[in-house]
Amino acid sequence: MTSGEKQTVFKEEAEEEKNRENVEENKTSSGLDQNIAGVLCYLLGFITGIIFILIEKENRFVRFHAMQSIMLSIAFFVAGFVLTIIPLIGWIFAILITPVTFILWIFMMWKAYSGEWYKLPVIGDFAENQIDKETN
């Protein structure tokens, strides 16, 4: 076997090992693939976020999306509540925020399904910090 063939075999073996590690990393405590669990974190907002925070103990990807889902749900709930207290202008903004909430909800589910660690400004950093605190 020539040195070029040995390098090719070595690269193939390294790629196979990496693929095996990735498959093991993608599993969750619930037995779901991490991208499916990530989508489910957003499905019912803070409810499924809390469920996955309680169920998932190992997979950081799922825990991050669960925490981000909780924080996002709380932020939209508080914003909606505050806006409905303000007469007229607040009501108009509350109506306008509804489609934004829906679009962001779909977008975050898509990002989680794609396997991306998509962090929302402020909320994403806070969620990541909370996950890091729990693991330490």
What's the confidence (pLDDT) of residue 74? 94
10 in any annotated domain: no
131 in any annotated domain: yes
What's the confidence (pLDDT) of residue 54? 93
Beta strand extents in the chain (DSSP E only):
none
Q: Give CB contacts under 8 A, 24+ apart, made by 111-119.
A: 112/35, 112/38, 112/39, 112/41, 112/42, 112/65, 113/35, 113/36, 113/38, 113/39, 114/35, 115/34, 115/35, 115/38, 115/61, 117/61, 117/64, 119/68
60 in any annotated domain: yes
The tally of domains found in the chain comes to: 1
68 in any annotated domain: yes
What's the confidence (pLDDT) of residue 17? 52
20 in any annotated domain: no
Q: What is the mean pLDDT of each run of 10 residues along the chain (136 residues)?
A: 55 52 64 93 94 92 95 93 90 90 95 93 92 78
11 in any annotated domain: no
Which pTM was predicted? 0.75
104 in any annotated domain: yes
What's the confidence (pLDDT) of residue 28? 82
Domain span at 111? 28-135
96 in any annotated domain: yes
